[in-house]
Amino acid sequence: MDGIGLGENNQGINPFANAEMPNLKSLLDGKSLFKETAPFHGDHASLVAVDPNVGVDGLPQSATGQAMLLTGVNISAELGYHYGPKPNPAVAEFLKDGTLFSRFVKAGKKTALLNAYPPRYFDGIDSGKRLYSSIPLAVTNAGLNLFRHEDFLAGRALSADFTGAGWRTMLGFPDAPVTDEHQAGRKLASLAKEYDFSLFEYWASDYAGHHQEMDKAVELMETFDGVLGGLVEAMDDEMLVLITSDHGNMEDLSTRRHTDADVPALVIGEKIAREEFTRDMKSLIDVAPAIWNMVIEN
């Protein structure tokens, strides 16, 4: 989830202090995604704080943040800066090889990005008007296809807004299938079961942070909570779910910029696996090695 940090429990600035999120709270023993909640190891979920700044000055950005999540390399330190939102050639170089997607493909594992992209996205890429962001760039560099409109209709991929409502209201597909949050969460779990490693990217949170829209951000997080409920209900004992972010933003609506806050690593699944998975997780560059080990060892 783009642009979600662990902020203060402050209703004036943090949507997590205002949103009704019963499913999240039941995972965190009544708490929410606040700085003060981490570290947490409960019966169903763990929460650790992850540093997105990685020792580099300036505010963390999406291209480097996502690239570090996918590679485990301290790209911001190697370049000397954080960069985003889309990768420049220097960041893109790190995404040619050595990402989770390319490494899992080479290891014979089944992997995918579960988002469905609309026709106009591919039109933009093909015409050169749109650049891939770090995650789809890593996916395509690994020789994998991005899911398209027909995959969405066939139920092989999920809409970026979870429910599919945006395909009707924003993308010009009045007949697109729309589901509720709960079913979207169940769908996410059933799609994930098909793969050794899959990722779903959600960016409306960063957008809401930049626009400093409390009502919109609360609405998005309440939708996300419904998804979380369906996901937890439909996941099986073999699955480990990680919800994390590339940098903070939405948790502090007093600024339209990104923040330097730690980001959450909210992990749902079997307790011993969660503890092993989060044991050495301190910054963004620790996430990819933890995912790699979990998939390869299990």
Q: What's the Cα-to-Cα distance from 60 to each of 131, 287, 298, rounded to whole Å?
A: 20, 16, 32
Length of the chain: 298
Q: Taking Cα atoms as reference points, which of 114, 229, 217, 116 lies closest to residue 180?
A: 229
Of 58-97, binders to Zn ion (CB under 5 A) are none
Q: Is 252 in the site for Zn ion (CB under 5 A)?
A: no
The nearer residue to Zn ion, 24 or 250, going by C-beta atoms, is 250
The nearer residue to Zn ion, 65 or 164, going by C-beta atoms, is 65
Q: Which stretch in 22-30, 41-49, 175-183, 201-209 sits in contact with Zn ion by CB under 5 A?
A: 201-209
The nearer residue to Zn ion, 206 or 262, going by C-beta atoms, is 206
Q: Which stretch in 37-45, 116-124, 206-214, 276-284 sits in contact with Zn ion by CB under 5 A?
A: 206-214
The size of the interface with Zn ion (CB under 5 A), counted in residues, is 1
CA–CA separation, 45 and 169 (whole Å): 35
CA–CA separation, 249 and 58 (whole Å): 14
Strands (E), the chain: 40-41, 45-50, 111-113, 197-199, 241-243, 263-268
Which of 151, 181, 206, 225 forms a contact with Zn ion (CB under 5 A)? 206
CA–CA separation, 29 and 176 (whole Å): 37
The nearer residue to Zn ion, 85 or 289, going by C-beta atoms, is 85
The nearer residue to Zn ion, 87 or 230, going by C-beta atoms, is 87
For residue 185, what are its two tokens?
């969460």
Q: Which stretch in 19-27, 96-104, 200-208, 290-298 sits in contact with Zn ion by CB under 5 A?
A: 200-208
Across-strand partners of 151?
none
Q: Which residues bind Zn ion (CB under 5 A)?
A: 206
